[in-house]
Amino acid sequence: MLTERQREIVKATVPLLETGGEALTTHFYKTMLAEYPEVRPLFNQAHQQSGAQPRALAHSVLMYARNIDRLEGLGNLPAQIIAKHVALQVQAEHYPIVGACLLRAIREVLGAEIATDEVIAAWGAAYQQLADILIAAERSVYEQTAAAEGGWRGARDFKLVRKEAESSEITSFYLEPVDGGAVIAHQPGQYIGLRVVIDGVEQRRNYSLSAASNGCSLRISVKREQGGKVSSYLHDQVQVGDVLQLFAPSGHFTLQEGSKPLVLISGGVGITPTLPMLQAALPTGRAITFIHCARDRGVHAFREKIDALAAANAQLTRHYCYDQMQPGDAAAESNVQGHLSAEQLGQWLPASRDADVYFLGPRGFMRSVKQSLKELGVPDAQVHYEFFGPAEALA
């Protein structure tokens, strides 16, 4: 239990975290991943190398320190963390490892003069408080998922029954359980965890589910990332008939019921979770605006499917934004060239702005869209977004 004195000590470290949090978390990851190989599969090494994972953790630690007196101020952050942990199968026994390495990093980066025994004790208590909350929440999710029809806990074997190229970069993988049993219903926008062993090294990744729940199979659509170890393995080596190990669907970024106009905005492979959202929303009759941005038509996945849905459903309007236009990509088809500006977005949004908006894509794209939506007057409470990798601030 945190004492009042310990709370004050944690809050007093906020200025240090604001200026040096990323250095601290970078040292933390370097130590933990070097000394505890059992946790390495839980972390994408590409995110380590790019600095995305240390930045994300620094942001989370800072938010926690700022809100140590009122955890409700963390907003959706705990739910996002819990969903990511569940999708990767983080377990209670992993938390002491993280805690020990975090306290060690605080001591080694800040120095003994600042990171006194009292400061370390305060942060130890603060970390344990957060760990207890997350462990309990994750245990509840694991139990509920395992008890649900078609649910499971841990890894489950799925066979690849179909592999289909959706664009020059994105391929869909259709997966059915080897045991022939039912598959738990997932919510539009959720993702699965995937475990593979490549060259003797275990890797875990999250991939959005790109098709609506049907009770018997799952579909993921994966972009080949430059230098991506797992995406390249899936594209080049995994073939129909092969077996992959999946963790049950998870995710906080899900379509909520409503009657307001719905706007789905995506960039690149961010289109994948918007597809089941679109499928779920169409039968409700609500007005839907579907906006997708890509480098060019060649990398634009699912265009023909979206065009067909728009032709068959009067309430669906679609718009595409390409960095480079190609023959046939005329503005008359509601396509524009260049980045999605606030002015262009304003022309495509419902006139009332009283809409539910969901968006995701690369970080820079999301930052721009978030700012544009604010400028255009869309209520903050009706704006929803998700990150592909570690959760980072969009400021």
Placement of tokens 């809050």 in the chain? 11
Out of 95, 142, 191, 207, pick the active-site residue: 95
| Pairwise CA distance, residues 277 & 272, whole Å | 9
Question: Which tokens sit at 261?
Answer: 């106009």
Asked whether residue 20 falls in the same domain as residue 126, the answer is yes
Contact 84, 138 (CB under 8 A): no
Catalytic-residue membership of 333? no
Asked whether residue 245 falls in the same domain as residue 224, the answer is yes
Asked whether residue 287 falls in the same domain as residue 329, the answer is yes
Contact 267, 319 (CB under 8 A): no
Q: In terms of residue numbers, what domain contains 111?
A: 4-147
Catalytic-residue membership of 138? yes
Out of 138, 166, 386, 392, pick the active-site residue: 138
| Pairwise CA distance, residues 288 & 252, whole Å | 21
Asked whether residue 361 falls in the same domain as residue 306, the answer is yes
Q: What CATH number does residue 327 fall under? A: 3.40.50.80
Asked whether residue 346 falls in the same domain as residue 221, the answer is no
CA 286 to chain centre: 26
Asked whether residue 359 falls in the same domain as residue 283, the answer is yes
Mean pLDDT by 10 residues, the chain (395 residues): 92 87 89 93 72 77 88 84 92 95 92 92 94 95 97 97 97 98 97 96 95 97 94 97 97 93 97 97 96 94 96 96 76 72 95 95 92 96 79 54
Asked whether residue 66 falls in the same domain as residue 20, the answer is yes
> What total number of domains does the chain contain?
3
pLDDT digits (tens, 9 = 90+) for 53-88: 777 788 888 889 889 988 888 888 888 889 999 999
Contact 174, 160 (CB under 8 A): yes
The pLDDT value given to residue 332: 46
pLDDT digits (tens, 9 = 90+) for 222-268: 999 988 999 999 999 999 999 999 999 999 899 999 999 999 999 99
The pLDDT value given to residue 395: 53
Asked whether residue 164 falls in the same domain as residue 276, the answer is no
The pLDDT value given to residue 80: 86
Domain annotation covers residue 395: no
